[in-house]
Structure 1
Amino acid sequence: MSQPMNQQSLTDLFRQLGAPDPESWAKSQAEMGVNQLYRFLFLRQAWERVISEDDDSRIDANIDAAKQDPNAPYAGVGHAVDRILAAGVSREDIVDLVRGMQAELLFDFCYLLDDPAIMEPNLESIGWTLVETTKDFEPTPITISALHGSVLETDPTGREMSPRK
């Protein structure tokens, strides 16, 4: 797909993709040359891996998996969730806790993409970054950076990880 370059076409595309404030994303790309489309799409895909606040199905799935194989990888999650429910904690509170921790990890991971912060002697020059690719998935020299700065604004709830009402 070729990318639209004028601001109105970008605004329409961001709106179609569900971006919050599509005009702002498009303006930044059109006027400052920041490829906001790549940034938004990466974050949208990342948020799809964070539990939805409306989906508590993983609670039962984790408990069931832990009961089937109590020593399997991640079985501790099911055991812990089972104990938490037995203590009277609501399913909604469990989802909010897990979702909040996943969102924090997403922020930290996005920050790590820009700054590995390796402090060991002789390793300070090691780094990495996320880059755009060609249509054939060959890396380009164009980086996709500062993703952490847009994690909250791309929260699918639109509340930037503020508590439910």
Structure 2
Amino acid sequence: MEIQRGYDLVERMRQLGAEDPEEWASSELEEDIAQEARWLAIRQIREAITWTPEGIRRIPEVTSLLEAGADEQLILAAVREVAREAAFTVLNVIDSTGDPDAPEDSPGWMLLEARVDPEGEPYLTGRDVGALHESLGFPAEDGVYRD
């Protein structure tokens, strides 16, 4: 399905903060992969799992550990890794499209790209927004995700 856009995809990916916007746009345009939708999902997930020192101090259990003398950087590293592993696991489950332990005739799932038509109505393009776990990546030392 040809997607009609009123914008330059490379520039849009750059505005959205994609690492290597040319590569993301090229993949979408040449391979018909819903890369803009994939990036939008990954961007939101990365933001949700990015922990800062201020953020972990809002967790009562962390505050107790800090008051007991625990090392803040060690706690922060652990929280970041647990968050990344949880997100990766959830994305991997979504990407799997089904429960391997369920009976063969059980339903599965897919994440599909949605757009909005000129009348403002959402519709599915039919393009898979899969392999999200492959794009999650790892945070830098400061906890921010970037290449």
TM-score under structure 2 length normalisation: 0.77
Aligned 1:5-154 pairs, distance under 5 A: 9-52=8-51, 55-63=52-60, 78=61, 81-86=62-67, 88-115=69-96, 116-120=98-102, 122=103, 125-135=106-116, 136-152=121-137
Instruction: List gaps (5 residues or longer) in structure 1.
Output: 64-77, 160-165
Rounded to whole Å, the distance in 2 between the matches of 1:83 and 1:154 is 26
The count of aligned residue pairs is: 136
Percent identity over the alignment is: 29
Query: How far off its partner does 1:85 sit?
Result: 2.3
The structure-2 alpha-carbon separation of the partners of 1:157 and 1:134, relative to structure 1 and needing over 3 Å to count, comes to: closer
Could you say which structure has the greater relative contact order, defined with CA pairs below 8 angstroms and 6 or more residues apart? 2
Give the alignment partner of residue 5 of structure 2, picking from 3, 6, 16: 3
Name the stretch that deviates more: 85-94 or 13-22: 85-94
Rounded to whole Å, the distance in 1 between the matches of 2:73 and 2:122 is 40
| AA partner of residue 134 (structure 2) | G
| Structure with the greater alpha carbon radius of gyration | 1
Rounded to whole Å, the distance in 1 between the matches of 2:57 and 2:138 is 30
Partner SS, residue 122 of structure 2: coil
Rounded to whole Å, the distance in 1 between the matches of 2:76 and 2:31 is 38
The structure-2 alpha-carbon separation of the partners of 1:37 and 1:153, relative to structure 1 and needing over 3 Å to count, comes to: farther
| AA partner of residue 3 (structure 1) | R
TM-score under structure 1 length normalisation: 0.70
Rounded to whole Å, the distance in 1 between the matches of 2:79 and 2:139 is 18
Instruction: List gaps (5 residues or longer) in structure 2.
Output: none
From the two aligned structures, give the one with the greater helix fraction: 1
Rounded to whole Å, the distance in 2 between the matches of 1:154 and 1:4 is 33
Rounded to whole Å, the distance in 2 between the matches of 1:154 and 1:33 is 28
